[in-house]
Amino acid sequence: MDFGASFSYITEDEDWIKKILIGAVLVLTGIGMIAVNGWVLEIIRRYNQGNDEILPDWSEIGQYFIDGLKLIVAVFVWTLPVIVLAACPAIGSVISAQNEDLAVVGIILSVCGGLLIFVYSLLIWFLFPALIGTLAETGSIGQAINPSNAFKLFRANIGGFILASLVGGLAVSLLGSLGTILCVVGSFVGTAFGQAVLAHLLGQAYKNAKANVAEAPAM
């Protein structure tokens, strides 16, 4: 992983200030974050295609909104089991409250449901970068939500995906916080910059995973 490049490629773009400021305005609006997510996908796509201009401008903002919506749908599908599992603790609490004889059953449901939610949430946190990379490359929600694709890519570059998620997430958090300290509005600029850093790191991890999959011997 080239962590330095994930920062330096931004400032190497002669229009980087304008591009980041537009991203910051969109972050500020709230709903514009959908387009920012699509912009992140475009950065990942360009990196993997070897595009010289990795930091996109905003001329295709309509497409970024569409891509951002696709990401929301894919993430929602992946998190549906969490919504279902969340019913277990709720049902357990109701059972315990209404019938003391079934209190043990209620406790078991609550504990098991909570444990399953934790395990599944941890699993999808690990697999999300592979999902995002697949969506960026293919534009297909179906391929992005295919667990076999995500598992195959994740296994091919476990360390890279984990580092990209941790360092990228930390960059978004720290840059947003720093922007808040310097100027409240600066937090949106820091967030937009951090998203660009995260996108580059995810692009690196995804590209390496694809290369490793291609080099793996056929079973």
Q: Which whole number is the average pLDDT over 79-95?
A: 72
Higher local confidence (pLDDT), 38 or 216: 38
Give per-residue burial for 125-160: e unless 16+ CB within 10 Å, then b.
Answer: eebbbbbbbbbbbeeebeebbeeebbeebbebbeeb
Question: 177 pLDDT exceeds 80?
Answer: no
Whether pLDDT at 42 is above 90: yes
The tokens describing 190, both together, are 């820091």
When mean pLDDT is compared across 101-110, 148-157, 169-178, the lowest value belongs to: 101-110
Domain ranges for the chain: 8-213
pLDDT at 207: 93
Are the CB atoms for 145 and 110 separated by under 8 Å? no
What is the length of the chain?
Answer: 219
- Residue 110 DSSP one-character state: H
Tell me what pLDDT residue 170 has: 84
Sequential DSSP letters for 39-54? HHHHHHHHHHHT-S--
Which pTM value belongs to this model? 0.85
Percent residues over pLDDT 70 in the chain: 85
Side chain identity, residue 177: S
Query: pLDDT (tens digit, 9 = 90+) per residue, 104-138?
Result: 666 776 777 778 888 888 888 888 899 999 999 99
DSSP state of 217: P
Which of 25, 51, 28 has the alpha carbon at shortest distance from 199? 51
Which pairs count as long-range contacts for 158-161, CB under 8 Å and 24+ apart, including other chains? 160/1, 160/204, 160/205, 160/208, 160/209, 161/126, 161/129, 161/130, 161/205, 161/209
Average pLDDT over residues 208-217: 81
